[in-house]
Structure formats: structure tokens, C-alpha cells
Amino acid sequence: MALDSRWRRIGHYGARALPGWVCTAEGIDRMVTGIESPVTSERGLSARLRYLTASDAGYEAMDRAGIHVRPRTLMAWLAEERTPSKANLARLDVAYWDLRRRNVVADLKRRLVNSGRGTRVEIDPADQSQVDPRHRRDVETRSINVRGLIWDRAVDAWIAHDARELEAIWDEIIQGGLGTDWDAYTYVSSVGWAA
């Protein structure tokens, strides 16, 4: 078996890794900040409800999350006269984070594009610690600068949950930045950056 084909069956020899595009999406997700208090706390619930009811986009987010209650019920939640069911608390949390993500898309793009300078990305290869030494491949952590509109596309694909586009973007990133050894970074332990 050729060395390169081993990466197509990443777990065959015991290596542990995720597709690079998954790690990229998780990295973008970690850039989104918001209310720290859990939705089950009075403060967390109140803050989420205020955020979600402040705009039409918030009501749309609640609808996408499956929150379909009467206006009177929503008013009782806001007035802290009634507490949503566990299912609705979970849906409110989903709606809140959905709206937060949508509201920060422009900021994420600006930070990652960095006035055209791009963002330096560190890529940790697949974890081969459980792989028999004779089957290990010599790969190391790599650092590349990702520039241009690729970040705009990545954020758009992330917000749309477009796995196919994220995968295509990851392939462009590693093929353009890692040279002939790009195949070894299709699956990785982690992808990180500071933006």
C-alpha cells in the first residue's frame, strides 16, 4: 500500500483525526461569543429572551428553532411569570446561538481577512500515537497564512452548514499552502488561529 493512500483510511492503523474542514468550522464557531450564564439560570434565560425579542431576526431564529408559543406565553416568559419547559429552554438556547452566529458573520469575516493580510493558521497533523511505528508517517505541525476571500467563503459556508463547500475550501487551503504533502493534512488533530 502506498503511503499516500493510508490517509484515505485514516483510522485503519489507529490514527485519530477529524477532517480539516470540521476543525475549521469548529474554530470559526469558537470565535462566536455570547452570554455565559446557562439558559437554565434566571439571568441566562432573561438575557436570551431580551436578545431574541429585540428584532425580527430574533423571532425568525426562534421559529427556526421550533419555538411556537402564543404571544401571551412569550410575554409571561419575559415578565418572569412563567418558566419555559425544558424543551423550550433548549430551543431558546439554540435560537440564541443561531442569532448570535448570524449577527457576527461580518465581524468574523473582517477579523479573518485582516485587511487583506489574512490569518496565520496552525495545523496539527493526525494523532499517530496509537499507530505502530512501522506504519507512522513523518508529519509535523504546519503553519500557513490563509489570505484573500477564502475566509469570506469559509464563513458563508459555516453559517449555511455547507459541509461540501467547507471541504472544498479546506482542500484549497492545504493544496495551496502545504505543497506536495497536502494530502497528509486532509485529516488533522486540530486547526487553530488567533484572530
The cell numbers describing 167, all together, are: 471541504
Q: Is 140 strand, coil or helix?
A: coil
pTM here? 0.82
Overall size of the chain counted in residues: 195
Contact 99, 58 (CB under 8 A): yes
Q: What is the pLDDT of residues 148-192, one digit of tens each?
A: 889 999 999 999 999 999 999 999 999 888 877 787 788 898 999
Per-residue pLDDT of the chain (195 residues; tens, 9 = 90+): 333 444 556 666 667 778 999 999 999 999 999 998 999 999 999 999 999 999 999 999 999 999 999 999 999 999 999 999 999 999 999 999 999 999 999 999 999 999 999 999 999 887 777 777 777 777 788 899 998 889 999 999 999 999 999 999 999 999 888 877 787 788 898 999 986
Spans of all domains in the chain: 3-31+107-193, 42-103
Q: Where are the alpha helices (DSSP H) in the chain?
A: 3-6, 20-30, 42-52, 56-64, 71-78, 86-103, 105-113, 150-159, 163-177
